[in-house]
Amino acid sequence: MTAIPARLRRMAELLLFHHAQGQTAGFLAFADDLRRAGHVVHTPDLYGGRSFDTLEAGIAHARELGFGTLLENGVRAADGLSPELVYAGFSLGAMPAQKLAQTRPGARGALLFHGCVPVSEFGDRWPADVPVQIHAMQGDPFFEEDQEAAQALVDEAAQAELFLYPGDQHLFTDRGLPAHDEGAASLLLQRVLAFLTPR
Protein backbone atom coordinates (compact mmCIF):
# COMPACT_ATOMS: atom_id res chain seq x y z
CA MET A 1 0.00 0.00 0.00
CA THR A 2 1.27 3.47 -0.77
CA ALA A 3 2.16 5.85 2.05
CA ILE A 4 -0.67 7.89 3.52
CA PRO A 5 -0.61 11.41 2.04
CA ALA A 6 0.63 14.01 4.52
CA ARG A 7 -2.58 16.03 4.27
CA LEU A 8 -4.61 13.02 5.42
CA ARG A 9 -2.56 12.75 8.62
CA ARG A 10 -5.37 13.85 10.91
CA MET A 11 -8.91 12.72 11.49
CA ALA A 12 -10.87 13.12 8.28
CA GLU A 13 -14.24 14.62 7.47
CA LEU A 14 -16.20 12.59 4.93
CA LEU A 15 -19.24 13.03 2.75
CA LEU A 16 -20.52 9.46 2.31
CA PHE A 17 -23.21 8.60 -0.26
CA HIS A 18 -25.50 5.57 -0.05
CA HIS A 19 -26.03 2.93 -2.73
CA ALA A 20 -29.13 2.24 -4.85
CA GLN A 21 -30.99 0.54 -2.00
CA GLY A 22 -30.84 3.73 0.06
CA GLN A 23 -29.71 4.34 3.61
CA THR A 24 -29.90 0.72 4.73
CA ALA A 25 -28.93 -0.41 8.21
CA GLY A 26 -25.68 -1.78 6.77
CA PHE A 27 -24.81 1.51 5.11
CA LEU A 28 -25.44 3.42 8.34
CA ALA A 29 -23.39 0.86 10.28
CA PHE A 30 -20.43 1.46 7.97
CA ALA A 31 -20.70 5.21 8.60
CA ASP A 32 -20.77 4.51 12.34
CA ASP A 33 -17.61 2.38 12.02
CA LEU A 34 -15.83 5.41 10.60
CA ARG A 35 -17.21 7.65 13.34
CA ARG A 36 -15.99 5.24 16.02
CA ALA A 37 -12.53 5.60 14.51
CA GLY A 38 -12.78 9.35 15.17
CA HIS A 39 -13.81 10.64 11.76
CA VAL A 40 -16.64 13.07 11.01
CA VAL A 41 -19.09 11.50 8.55
CA HIS A 42 -21.97 13.23 6.74
CA THR A 43 -24.53 10.87 5.17
CA PRO A 44 -26.95 12.79 2.93
CA ASP A 45 -30.12 10.90 2.02
CA LEU A 46 -30.75 11.18 -1.72
CA TYR A 47 -33.95 9.13 -1.42
CA GLY A 48 -35.83 11.21 1.12
CA GLY A 49 -36.02 8.46 3.72
CA ARG A 50 -36.87 5.57 1.41
CA SER A 51 -34.88 2.34 1.24
CA PHE A 52 -35.41 -0.87 -0.70
CA ASP A 53 -35.14 -4.58 0.08
CA THR A 54 -33.63 -5.50 -3.28
CA LEU A 55 -31.06 -3.95 -5.57
CA GLU A 56 -33.47 -4.21 -8.49
CA ALA A 57 -36.12 -2.18 -6.65
CA GLY A 58 -33.53 0.41 -5.67
CA ILE A 59 -32.25 0.77 -9.22
CA ALA A 60 -35.83 1.14 -10.48
CA HIS A 61 -36.39 3.95 -7.98
CA ALA A 62 -33.15 5.64 -9.01
CA ARG A 63 -34.24 5.49 -12.64
CA GLU A 64 -37.58 7.01 -11.70
CA LEU A 65 -35.88 9.89 -9.91
CA GLY A 66 -33.31 10.25 -12.68
CA PHE A 67 -29.62 9.47 -12.38
CA GLY A 68 -28.72 13.02 -13.41
CA THR A 69 -30.97 14.46 -10.71
CA LEU A 70 -29.45 12.17 -8.08
CA LEU A 71 -25.95 13.16 -9.20
CA GLU A 72 -26.69 16.87 -8.93
CA ASN A 73 -28.48 16.45 -5.59
CA GLY A 74 -25.39 14.64 -4.34
CA VAL A 75 -23.14 17.46 -5.48
CA ARG A 76 -25.39 20.00 -3.75
CA ALA A 77 -25.11 18.00 -0.52
CA ALA A 78 -21.59 19.42 -0.18
CA ASP A 79 -22.90 23.00 -0.07
CA GLY A 80 -22.09 24.60 3.26
CA LEU A 81 -19.56 21.92 4.22
CA SER A 82 -15.83 22.33 4.50
CA PRO A 83 -13.97 22.13 1.17
CA GLU A 84 -11.47 19.77 2.82
CA LEU A 85 -13.57 16.63 2.57
CA VAL A 86 -12.96 13.04 1.64
CA TYR A 87 -15.73 12.06 -0.77
CA ALA A 88 -16.96 8.49 -0.58
CA GLY A 89 -19.79 6.56 -2.14
CA PHE A 90 -21.18 3.07 -2.64
CA SER A 91 -22.16 2.05 -6.18
CA LEU A 92 -24.72 4.70 -7.23
CA GLY A 93 -23.21 6.98 -4.58
CA ALA A 94 -19.76 6.67 -6.14
CA MET A 95 -20.87 9.00 -8.93
CA PRO A 96 -21.42 12.16 -6.84
CA ALA A 97 -18.37 11.24 -4.75
CA GLN A 98 -16.21 11.02 -7.86
CA LYS A 99 -17.60 14.22 -9.36
CA LEU A 100 -17.01 16.18 -6.17
CA ALA A 101 -13.48 14.79 -5.77
CA GLN A 102 -12.66 15.80 -9.33
CA THR A 103 -14.33 19.21 -9.41
CA ARG A 104 -14.69 20.71 -5.92
CA PRO A 105 -11.51 22.50 -4.83
CA GLY A 106 -9.96 21.33 -1.57
CA ALA A 107 -10.81 17.62 -1.80
CA ARG A 108 -8.62 15.53 0.51
CA GLY A 109 -9.39 12.17 -1.02
CA ALA A 110 -11.93 9.85 -2.65
CA LEU A 111 -13.21 6.38 -1.75
CA LEU A 112 -15.16 4.70 -4.54
CA PHE A 113 -16.92 1.48 -3.55
CA HIS A 114 -18.38 -0.84 -6.22
CA GLY A 115 -18.35 1.82 -8.92
CA CYS A 116 -16.23 4.14 -11.04
CA VAL A 117 -16.90 6.11 -14.22
CA PRO A 118 -14.37 7.44 -16.73
CA VAL A 119 -12.56 10.53 -15.50
CA SER A 120 -13.68 12.27 -18.70
CA GLU A 121 -17.27 12.29 -17.37
CA PHE A 122 -16.35 15.11 -15.00
CA GLY A 123 -13.30 16.81 -16.51
CA ASP A 124 -10.05 16.41 -18.37
CA ARG A 125 -8.04 14.65 -15.67
CA TRP A 126 -7.96 13.44 -12.08
CA PRO A 127 -6.58 16.12 -9.71
CA ALA A 128 -2.93 15.35 -9.02
CA ASP A 129 -3.21 16.08 -5.29
CA VAL A 130 -6.32 13.95 -4.57
CA PRO A 131 -5.58 10.37 -3.44
CA VAL A 132 -8.16 7.74 -4.33
CA GLN A 133 -9.03 4.15 -3.46
CA ILE A 134 -11.41 2.01 -5.54
CA HIS A 135 -12.86 -1.21 -4.09
CA ALA A 136 -14.91 -3.93 -5.82
CA MET A 137 -15.26 -7.69 -6.18
CA GLN A 138 -13.47 -9.29 -9.11
CA GLY A 139 -16.55 -11.02 -10.48
CA ASP A 140 -19.13 -8.31 -9.73
CA PRO A 141 -21.20 -8.05 -12.94
CA PHE A 142 -22.16 -4.46 -12.10
CA PHE A 143 -18.49 -3.47 -11.79
CA GLU A 144 -17.46 -5.29 -14.96
CA GLU A 145 -18.17 -2.26 -17.15
CA ASP A 146 -16.51 0.07 -14.62
CA GLN A 147 -13.25 -1.84 -14.25
CA GLU A 148 -11.62 -0.35 -17.33
CA ALA A 149 -12.40 3.17 -16.07
CA ALA A 150 -11.10 2.26 -12.61
CA GLN A 151 -7.83 0.91 -13.99
CA ALA A 152 -7.41 3.98 -16.20
CA LEU A 153 -7.90 6.24 -13.18
CA VAL A 154 -5.29 4.29 -11.22
CA ASP A 155 -2.87 4.52 -14.14
CA GLU A 156 -3.40 8.28 -14.41
CA ALA A 157 -3.61 9.45 -10.81
CA ALA A 158 -0.52 10.14 -8.74
CA GLN A 159 -1.93 8.45 -5.60
CA ALA A 160 -4.42 5.73 -6.51
CA GLU A 161 -5.16 2.12 -5.62
CA LEU A 162 -7.62 -0.42 -7.01
CA PHE A 163 -8.52 -3.28 -4.68
CA LEU A 164 -10.31 -6.29 -6.17
CA TYR A 165 -11.69 -8.88 -3.75
CA PRO A 166 -12.48 -12.53 -4.51
CA GLY A 167 -16.15 -13.09 -5.26
CA ASP A 168 -18.99 -11.85 -7.45
CA GLN A 169 -21.21 -9.84 -5.09
CA HIS A 170 -21.99 -6.17 -5.66
CA LEU A 171 -22.85 -4.60 -2.29
CA PHE A 172 -20.64 -6.92 -0.26
CA THR A 173 -19.85 -4.13 2.21
CA ASP A 174 -23.45 -3.85 3.47
CA ARG A 175 -23.74 -6.18 6.46
CA GLY A 176 -27.53 -6.13 6.33
CA LEU A 177 -27.80 -7.53 2.79
CA PRO A 178 -27.47 -11.08 1.46
CA ALA A 179 -24.52 -9.94 -0.67
CA HIS A 180 -22.46 -9.19 2.45
CA ASP A 181 -19.05 -10.85 2.65
CA GLU A 182 -17.60 -10.50 6.15
CA GLY A 183 -14.00 -11.21 5.20
CA ALA A 184 -13.90 -8.87 2.22
CA ALA A 185 -15.84 -6.14 4.04
CA SER A 186 -13.50 -6.29 7.05
CA LEU A 187 -10.42 -6.02 4.84
CA LEU A 188 -11.99 -3.11 2.97
CA LEU A 189 -12.71 -1.28 6.21
CA GLN A 190 -9.15 -1.88 7.37
CA ARG A 191 -7.80 -0.38 4.14
CA VAL A 192 -10.17 2.58 4.34
CA LEU A 193 -9.13 3.36 7.92
CA ALA A 194 -5.48 3.16 6.92
CA PHE A 195 -6.20 5.61 4.10
CA LEU A 196 -7.89 8.02 6.48
CA THR A 197 -5.90 7.69 9.68
CA PRO A 198 -2.29 8.61 10.56
CA ARG A 199 0.10 5.83 11.49
Residue ranges covered by each domain of the chain:
8-196
pTM listed for this prediction = 0.92
Closest CA to 177 of 165, 169, 166, 187: 169
Mean pLDDT throughout 177-184? Answer: 97
Per-residue pLDDT tens for 92-147? 999 999 999 999 999 999 999 999 999 999 988 999 999 999 999 999 999 999 99
Which 3 state secondary structure label does DSSP give 161?
Answer: strand
Q: At the fourth CATH level, which superfamily is domain 8-196?
A: Alpha/Beta hydrolase fold, catalytic domain (3.40.50.1820)
